[in-house]
Amino acid sequence: MYFPISDTTINPVYLICLGFIIGILGGFFGVGGSFLAGPSLFVAGLPMNFAVGTDLLHIVGKSIVAARKHGILGNIDMKLACLMVVGTIAGSEAGVQAIEALKKIARVDLVVGGVAIVILSGMSVFVFLESWQAMKLKGSTKPLSKQTSQEKDRRAFKFMSKWTQSFKWWQVSLPHSGVKAISVWAILLVSFVGGVCSGFLGGGAGYIRMPFMVYLLGIPTHIAIGTDLFEVVVSASYGSFRHAMNGNVDILIALIMQTGAAVGAQIGAVLTQYFNGPRIRMAFAPLPLIGALMVVYGLLTGHHLK
Amino acid sequence: MKVNWKIFACEMVIYAVLVFTYFWFVLHYFAGSLEDMFHHNRMKFAVTCLLLMIGQAVGLEIISSLLFKLLPWKKK
């Protein structure tokens, strides 16, 4: 099928299937899926600038579907999401500006690539070890459907979130997430760092923000997924608007991908009900590693997959 | 988890027909004007892109939710 805006011919079935797979990942893990969608569009023949912008616009649609489903399941903490949006957008701009500054003084590809490989690989190993430990802990004996978010979510390394929650400056409570008191600055700082990673490394960086919310803020995994998706709707809308203004979006491709994603995102969101927090995190562990491998590929071959 | 795959397949066929009809409508009536907007009015194009995506997401979510309600998801 010919797409006149990007002057490309791509099979629409490929786009629908790609959207479906990304939709399942997004609904289940709360990630945008740009680490997979961008390269897959590029491989299909879409120029890289269009692949990045179109992917981001499709993420908006997919995240609306998944966030609505998670909202119905009670997995969105609106208070937390609103606070995080502020930090994410500010961090995203800072990340983009940091890239521009690095372009003038250093080999930006090597610096960004090196940072990305260290962060992503470290996160993958950490999530794997933590979820492995957490799965060994004794959990609630109640059936999974009757457990609260906190009961579903055994965590091995609680000292990190306890340390973050010990900051006393300008505290708020997050009753929906079961957090009695946490500093607004801690939330803003965590979302800002997530935003910087998004602007610096590309994509929505959900594979960084979701573990940050779980380990640093102490948010239950299911609520972290839903809240991250809500936040992605806002931040990806902002990003895709900017890309569309720069002529990097083929709306027809994004619309076709979204039809597959609409079904996939629902399946992914429904599936979270059948898994407890540690199991979801264990399944999540390879995702940052895939991102790291793509960066390695980019550095070795000179082709950027994100 | 047990899924009735026959019902799931039927629902996917219904969904595919709806999506195909929708695409025929969009590509037939809007592809030309969207391309024109892309080349001549980027601001209008950017706003239309977001509105179309949000509209489609909400519309398809309602349709697929209705289909999913009919699908019997059963836990082991």
What is the DSSP code string of B24-36? HHHHHHHHHHHHH
> For residues A262 and B65, what is the distance between their CA atoms, to the nearest angstrom?
9
Task: Give pLDDT, residue A153.
Answer: 66
The one-character DSSP state at A172 is: E
| A236 in any annotated domain | yes
Task: Give pLDDT, residue A64.
Answer: 86
What range does the domain containing A277 cover? 2-138+151-301
Nearest to B27 by CA among A255, A19, A243: A255
pLDDT digits (tens, 9 = 90+) for A233-274: 887 888 888 888 888 889 999 998 888 888 888 788 778 777
| A306 in any annotated domain | no
pTM (global) more than 0.90: no
Q: Which of A12, A69, A254 sits opposite B53 (nearest CB)?
A: A254
> For residues A159 and A211, what is the distance between their CA atoms, to the nearest angstrom?
15
Task: Give pLDDT, residue A23.
Answer: 85
> Domain spans of chain B?
2-67
Could you give the 3-state DSSP secondary structure of residue A290? helix
> Would you list which residues of chain A are within 8 Å, Cβ to Cβ, of chain B?
4-5, 12, 57-58, 60-62, 64-65, 68-69, 145, 237, 240-241, 244-247, 249, 251-252, 254-256, 258-259, 262-263, 266, 270-271, 274
Torsion angle defined by CA atoms of residues A199, A202, A203 and A206, in that order, rounded to the nearest 10 degrees: -70
Q: Please state the domain count of chain A.
A: 1
| A205 in any annotated domain | yes
Nearest to A87 by CA among A6, A19, A4, A189: A189
Task: Give pLDDT, residue A273.
Answer: 76
